[in-house]
Amino acid sequence: MTTDLGTSPLSQEFCRKHLVPPPEVETLAELNERLAAIDLAEDARHVHGRPTSVGFDFEAERELLRPLPADGYDCGIDLTPVVQRNGRITVRQSYYSAPAKFIGAKVRVKLRANELLVFDGRKIVARHPRLTRRYTAHDVLDHYLEILLVRPGAFAGPSALAQARAEGTFTKTHEAFWAASKAKCGDQDGTRLLIEVLLLHRQLPAEAVVAGMTTVVEIGSVNPDLVAIEARKAIEDSDLDEADGLDGTEADACDDQDDDTEAGGTADEGGKVISLHTRRLPPDPRTQLPDMAKYDRLLAPPAPPRKQQKGTSV
């Protein structure tokens, strides 16, 4: 990685002293931390012939510097790569994932010193740390969920899952929910349930979804709808009664048969049917219910035809 700090004598001296040979780093964040430590050490250095340190002289000159511009200046460059069939774009011989719905389309990319942004119009649809080595890739698991929902058998294979585990976004709670769902519903159906839970991260905070999964797994269920309910309860942090929470095991999401247990009763596994609190239901915008009398007449059985009496001729 080449570092250009300008052509002034001071910058050239800094490069010769600290950046020759070029430092070996994994990420730009690591390089920035190393440069910050070097800069801190430079504040205590004394230039030959001067009684004061570099940091002392800079503080004396700080008030004489011009203020920074009010408007920020974007140092990134704009590119327009095409999203390939594998859901990646190629930028400077490195590969970055993009949402699957943009496959085959040209997207606008802002390449900055530390990050890469992918735009759909003015909306940011992907954010990646900038890669510093050629032919390396950075994938986001969320970008492939629509494809994996159709092909759940490929979920364990992509590198996006390995990177999500390494970055900590795919936590041990996700692993526990995945294992429980596969044990109850099989590998494919259980993986689909996990993907439905991962899709909740697009609408709810990650901490709330993890809390919802923890509660649902503890009661022995793998229903994504219950995860959403418990995640919203964690967000609200309201003073609802404990009876509104999960007291037992809800019907599994992989069970296609309807549970005929009435409200207040118990299911086959001893769980109670959950009643949604009225605060969670949206208000009815209708001020007056429609008149259904005309449709009720259609439900009544048709009247039998009247028998005609034979008249007698006179």
Q: How far is CA 31 from CA 4, 96, 248, 271, in A?
A: 13, 21, 52, 55
Of 21-30, 40-49, 223-232, the range with the highest mean pLDDT is 223-232
Task: Kindly state the average pLDDT of the residues 132-156.
Answer: 92
Task: Kindly state the average pLDDT of the residues 34-48.
Answer: 86
Segment among 29-33, 37-41, 257-261, 290-294 with least mean pLDDT = 257-261
Asked whether residue 241 carries a pLDDT value surpassing 60, the answer given is no
Asked whether residue 242 carries a pLDDT value surpassing 60, the answer given is no
Task: Kindly state the average pLDDT of the residues 195-221.
Answer: 93
Q: For residue 95, what are the β-bridge partners?
A: 90, 137
Burial 292-307, CB ≥16 within 10 A → b, else e:
eeeeeeeeeeeeeeee
Neighbouring CB atoms inside 10 A of 83's CB total 24
pTM of the predicted protein model: 0.62
Positive or negative torsion for Cα 194, 196, 197, 198: positive
Asked whether residue 239 carries a pLDDT value surpassing 60, the answer given is no
pLDDT band for position 261 (cuts 50, 70, 90):
very low
Asked whether residue 143 carries a pLDDT value surpassing 70, the answer given is yes
Q: What domains appear along the chain, each with residue ranges and CATH number?
A: 9-62 (no CATH), 77-138 (2.40.50), 144-278 (no CATH)
Instruction: Output the pLDDT for position 268.
Output: 47
Task: Kindly state the average pLDDT of the residues 181-196.
Answer: 93
Q: How far is CA 305 from CA 239, 296, 297, 300, 308, in A?
A: 63, 21, 17, 15, 9
Instruction: Return the closest-CA partner of residue 122 out of 91, 72, 84, 78.
Output: 78
Please state the length of the chain: 314
pLDDT band for position 133 (cuts 50, 70, 90):
confident
The amino acid at 72: G
Of 36-40, 68-72, 252-256, the range with the highest mean pLDDT is 36-40
Percentage above 90 pLDDT, the chain = 45
The β-bridge relationship of strands 94-97 and 137-138 is: parallel
Helix ranges (H only) for 139-223 are 145-150, 159-167, 172-185, 187-199, 206-218
The β-bridge relationship of strands 108-111 and 77-79 is: antiparallel
Burial 36-55, CB ≥16 within 10 A → b, else e:
eeeeeeeeeeeeeeeeeebe
Asked whether residue 300 carries a pLDDT value surpassing 80, the answer given is no
Asked whether residue 312 carries a pLDDT value surpassing 90, the answer given is no
Q: What is the CA radius of gyration of the chain?
A: 32
pLDDT band for position 255 (cuts 50, 70, 90):
low
Q: How far is CA 12 from CA 55, 58, 201, in A?
A: 19, 19, 47
